[in-house]
Structure 1
Amino acid sequence: MFVITADQIDSRHDHDRASEMIAQLVSRHEGEFALPPDQTSGDEIQLLVPRAPAALEMVLDLHRTGFWSVGVGVGTVRTPLPLTTRQATGDAFIAARAAVTRAKRTEAHFALDTPPSPSEQTTPGDDVGAVAPDDGGDPTGSDVEALVTMLLLLRQRRTPEGWEAVDLLEQGLAQTNIARTLGISTAAVSQRVKSAQWKVERAVHPALVRLLLNLDRDTSETDLNR
């Protein structure tokens, strides 16, 4: 399960954007929430999302606005689920809280955490500062965080003109139709799309979804084996 916790950036000097952001997410991703999105503490929102593709899209939507630090927690959630997201508990919620705290200090305002595996947990007498060696196995939460961060920073460089063309492309319009809609040449549309790195972004989405699915599977298996 994926928990997304988003905290509004510089909320003291801005109006409360939580309600309008929740409305946008519900409108765009209707049916993708395990529980209704909640405004939790003050200017913070929390989402409980079962599917990896939807979780990735919601992270992209939040980040695009420029108003949110976004933390993703991947792990189990205690069942049966309560009536509201703010009442729900579990490892994914703990991980999301740690992630959003870190996200506030990162360039992309994004972080992702998973519950510690049994091998990462310490016992009395262990060297708390020791880092477990990388065994070269499946990608970790840190690996996935790094790749999502690269995508977010790429999108962050996109110009308003690039977004204009990309948004129409994602609505299914052909470049000739986009050119007519925007009143520019097809060559200009092609240049906007190229500069926006849209094909690169779309190519990486399936890989990121697979990595998120693997994290979700691995954290669930880890919790079952404890």
Structure 2
Amino acid sequence: MIARYIALKTDMVHSRNLAERNEIQELFFKAADRINADYGSCFESGFIVTHGDEAQALIRIEAATSLYPIIEALVEMMAPVELRFGLGCGTLNTKVQKMAIGMDGKAWLNAKQAIDMARKSHRMVCFRGFPADWEQGVESLVNLLLFLHQRWTPEQLKAIRKIRCGQTQTAVAKIFNVTEAAISKRLSAAGWHQYEDGREALFKLFAKAILTDES
């Protein structure tokens, strides 16, 4: 069976118009290092900045459930700079490299088409090369979740990060020296519970993609 991979491409939206571009590019390099440190086991070829405002990685198909956490982490690390993503599933025509550069094949072609479509359609994420019915639903859900995520305030995000790490609302309230009701209000205003429901549904859809690939 010919191995299939998921190629991920990302770039900054309106990067040439950004103020303090050098500092933002340096932040992008640091984000790439952090992604490789946290998600290295998911990559067939490591995440690398190919230009000052573009980066890419080659992800193992069995690590598909890590796709959204990787995107989510990049969005949070680069905020308020906006990113767009293209994800392409397919094979390679060339040898796998340690870092995601110097390769060719259907996975990369699909990723290029996906990010071009994201640019044209003003979406944050597009997919290509996956089963059509799966692709449409997942693409819509990912963009909806990221739309919600982008609207979190810094205070909401700080509380959400603590909750993600397993802290209770009572503990988070003590950390930020506010009432538990205030934390509950932040989470509700952020749509946190609905976001988590959507995130869980997304993981199940990615797991289904893995099973489909193995069948």
TM category (shorter chain) comes to: 0.7 to 0.9
Q: Judging changes above 3 Å, is the alpha-carbon distance between structure 1 residues 44 and 171 closer, same or farther for their aligned structure 2 residues?
A: same
Q: Distance in 1 between matches of 2:41 and 2:121?
A: 31
Contact between 1:166 and 1:193, CA under 8 Å: does it hold in 2?
yes
CA-to-partner distance for each residue in 1:104-135, whole Å, 9 max, x for gaps?
Answer: 234442211116x8xxxxxxxxxxxxxxxxxx
Q: Distance in 2 between matches of 1:36 and 1:7?
A: 16
Counterpart of 2:66 in structure 1 is 54
Q: Distance in 1 between matches of 2:204 and 2:104?
A: 25
SS at match of 1:82: coil
The correspondence for 1:83, drawn from 98, 107, 116, is: 98
**Does structure 1 residue 157 correspond to structure 2 residue 151?**
yes
Structure 2: where are the runs of 5+ without partners? none
SS at match of 1:69: strand
SS at match of 1:59: helix
Q: Which runs of 4+ in 1 moved over 6 A?
A: none
Q: What's the offset of the Cα at 1:23? A: 1.5
Q: Distance in 2 between matches of 1:206 and 1:74?
A: 22
SS at match of 2:45: coil
The correspondence for 2:119, drawn from 90, 104, 107, is: 104
SS at match of 1:35: strand
Alignment of 1:1-226 (within 5 A): 1-12=5-16, 13=18, 14-15=21-22, 16=25, 17-50=27-60, 51-64=63-76, 65=79, 66-78=81-93, 80-114=95-129, 139-215=133-209, 218=212
Aligned length: 200
Deviates most, 143-152 or 23-32: 23-32
Structure 1: where are the runs of 5+ without partners? 118-137, 222-226
* Letter of the 2:174 counterpart: R
Q: Judging changes above 3 Å, is the alpha-carbon distance between structure 1 residues 80 and 107 closer, same or farther for their aligned structure 2 residues?
A: closer
Q: What's the offset of the Cα at 1:96? A: 0.8
The structure whose Rg is larger is 1
SS at match of 2:107: helix
Decide which structure has greater helix share: 2
Question: Percent same amino acid among aligned pairs?
Answer: 24
SS at match of 2:46: coil
Decide which structure has greater strand share: 2
Q: Judging changes above 3 Å, is the alpha-carbon distance between structure 1 residues 40 and 53 closer, same or farther for their aligned structure 2 residues?
A: same
Contact between 1:76 and 1:219, CA under 8 Å: does it hold in 2?
no
